[in-house]
Amino acid sequence: MQLILGTANAGSKYSLNQYQKIDKKNLIEIIQFAKKNKIKTYDTAPKYKNAEKILGSLSFNKMNVITKIPNLSNKDLKSNILTQVLKSKKNLKVKKLYGLLIHDIAFFKKQDPREVVEIISEIKKIGIVKKIGFSLYDPEDIDFVLKYIKPDLIKIPLSLFDRRFIKKKKITKLHSLGIEVHVRSIFMKGLLLVSDNKIPRKLHGLNFFLKKFNTWCNKNRITKLQAAINFIKNVKNIDGVVVGVDSVDQLRDIIYAFINSSKKYPKKINTQILEKYLDIRKWKI
């Protein structure tokens, strides 16, 4: 299981506990620190402001970079996708992309899935990218994707509070098929780490669970960050963990917690009650 640096917060405020916008200087400092600490894989996308160009400015030929295909016009779809992928490759200045993911399953469903699969498979075949796959949010989407392709890589949300993919045995299924699994949102946009007075009003339905988590951490003399990472480190069949930070100090804390993980984390969470809050795309805060 490897740490992967995500860049979703490049140039914008992404996390609930983010205290500053990530400008180019901040991001470069974070990436350089990540490289020094042997983080070799980076997750980005065209929609993440100038993240691709910044990564490209830092000599990433020896690094693994994963980018994504955004929603594009279905008019001349093959040309649009290829143009976008070549643009990302140029911005990143890499000889070959490690991963290319469909960013939005709705885009895949809206098009002819067979045509999209044919296009991205051809992109892989001609050597532009090593692995193709999908960034998903719902366990059911895995079954939909597998009707059309056995991808090389799938990225899913997973956290102490969001155990849907475990409960429905989707991670086990992906592993059995030889599909690389990356997880994201392990802190739920920072929600698991914020203090009680910073919980957005529209997420107050989670107060009970967040306070219970905080109490558990205090009782067990462990930080919330360490508990959240301990949970992830104890899930089998995960290949990569995507984390986003807004400072070198935050990344240092995550690396330390990752290296010093244990089996200490809250074992039971009532995920059924939580489910309406689990898709962070729907948080209007």
The pTM is what? 0.89
Give yes or no for residue 198 having a pLDDT over 70.
no
**How buried is 248 (Cβ within 10 angstroms: 0-12 exposed, 13-18 middle, 19+ buried)?**
middle
**How many Å separate Cα 34 from the centre of its chain?**
16
* Cα 247 to Cα 251: distance, rounded to the nearest angstrom: 7
Give yes or no for residue 16 having a pLDDT over 60.
no
Give yes or no for residue 221 having a pLDDT over 80.
yes
Give the per-residue pLDDT at 52: 82
The band of 46, judged by pLDDT with boundaries at 50, 70 and 90, is confident
Give the per-residue pLDDT at 282: 61
**Token reading at 167:** 């409960």
The band of 141, judged by pLDDT with boundaries at 50, 70 and 90, is very high
**What share of the chain has pLDDT > 70, as a percent?**
85
**Token reading at 127:** 């050597």
β-pairing, 2-6 vs 41-43, is: parallel
Give yes or no for residue 275 having a pLDDT over 90.
no
Give the per-residue pLDDT at 20: 58
Contact 185, 280 (CB under 8 A): yes
**What share of the chain has pLDDT > 90, as a percent?**
49
Contact 237, 129 (CB under 8 A): no
Q: Residue 14: phi, psi to the nearest 5? A: -115, -50
Give the per-residue pLDDT at 169: 93
* Cα 44 to Cα 66: distance, rounded to the nearest angstrom: 6
* Cα 235 to Cα 228: distance, rounded to the nearest angstrom: 12
Stretch 231-240: mean pLDDT? 95
* Cα 191 to Cα 20: distance, rounded to the nearest angstrom: 16
The secondary structure element, H or E, covering residue 187 is none
Contact 120, 69 (CB under 8 A): yes
More confident residue, 169 or 196: 169
* Cα 43 to Cα 6: distance, rounded to the nearest angstrom: 5
**Token reading at 239:** 């290949």
Give yes or no for residue 201 having a pLDDT over 80.
no
Stretch 13-32: mean pLDDT? 71
Give the per-residue pLDDT at 117: 92
* Cα 155 to Cα 133: distance, rounded to the nearest angstrom: 8
Stretch 102-125: mean pLDDT? 90
Give the per-residue pLDDT at 142: 95
C-beta neighbour count of 32 within 10 angstroms? 12
**Token reading at 258:** 């990752």
Least confident stretch, 70-74, 208-212, 234-238: 70-74
Give yes or no for residue 150 having a pLDDT over 60.
yes
CA dihedral 80, 117, 69, 83 (to 10 degrees): -30
Q: Residue 176: phi, psi to the nearest 5? A: -65, -25
- Domains along the chain? 2-282 (3.20.20.100)
